[in-house]
Amino acid sequence: MALAFPFDPVQRSQEVEGLVMSGRKRRYYKFRAAPYYGGIATADAVGCSFLCAYCWNYGRNENPSSCGRLYSPEEVAWNLISLARRHSYYLFRLTGSEPILGEASLEHVLAVVGYVSQEIPQSRFILETNGLMLGFRTELIARLGLRNLMIRISLKGTDPESFEKISGAKREFFSFPLRALKELESQGFEVWPALMEDFFTEHDIDALREILRPLEIRAELERERLESYPAVLTHLDLRGIRLDDGRPLDKRRG
């Protein structure tokens, strides 16, 4: 997809959803057992409203119609259930992309979670999202009322400027993930924010906490660490993004 930075991520969400959804089916490229969260059955999808410089799935999300294939919610669920039974997992997730790009992708996610829950009642599903569309269209939140759903909102910056540089999206959209976080917590969802800490000083992170405080966000901030894949470092270099102490990114190699 041709893209000029910074871009409108809501418009991009709509465009990407049209590329990765066909009816109830969504495009995926892998199903795997992953070590995160103590062991989790994982479905890797493509298509995101952002194009984050540190994204390990950058190439696929840049051209989401060029990889993987379309799977129905039932097919996704059974792939995940098979992994879970093989590895004795009770945690599930969709990752590698933005699960909620609009109405169609939301319905797909809800169907996947529903099928898994029917087969494995004790399952827990972690929804990893950037929170953009849930903040832009807060009426979608009411449709997430599933008992086994946990929501992790990945924040892309500590202020509008860093958000724009990292996500590629226009800085005026910085507030929407925060709005989603506030609304989800106020409605009683198990939700928490996460931040890739490598690009921020402690002062930056404290400033983000000051933004969250008046929103009455009680959840602790999860601090992620960068996975220094070669392609990730290349895209960070192209965007001119450095570590929090200014060290060149190639110092992370090896």
Kindly report, residue by residue over 111-165, the tens digit of the pLDDT.
Answer: 999 999 999 999 999 999 999 999 999 999 999 987 899 999 999 999 999 999 9
Q: How far is CA 215 from CA 171, 197, 211, 227, in A?
A: 19, 21, 7, 30
Question: Is residue 140 a part of any domain in this protein?
Answer: yes
Question: Is residue 126 a part of any domain in this protein?
Answer: yes
* DSSP secondary structure code for residue 96 in this structure: S
Of the given ranges (80-84, 115-119, 236-240), which has the lowest mean pLDDT? 236-240
Q: Give the range of the structural domain holding residue 97, as residue numbers without chain letter.
A: 10-252
Domains: count for the chain: 1
Question: Is residue 4 a part of any domain in this protein?
Answer: no
**In what helix (H) or strand (E) does residue 14 lie, and over which residues does it extend?**
helix 9-20
- Domain with residue 172: its CATH number is 3.20.20.70
Question: Is residue 2 a part of any domain in this protein?
Answer: no
* pLDDT value of residue 1: 62
The torsion defined by the Cα of 243, 246, 250 and 254, in degrees rounded to 10, comes to: -60
Question: Is residue 5 a part of any domain in this protein?
Answer: no
* pLDDT value of residue 246: 54
Question: Is residue 223 a part of any domain in this protein?
Answer: yes
Question: Is residue 1 a part of any domain in this protein?
Answer: no
Question: Is residue 243 a part of any domain in this protein?
Answer: yes
Identify the bridge partners of residue 71 per DSSP, sorted by sequence position. 26
Query: What is the number of residues in the chain?
Result: 254
End-to-end, the C-alpha distance of the chain in Å comes to: 32
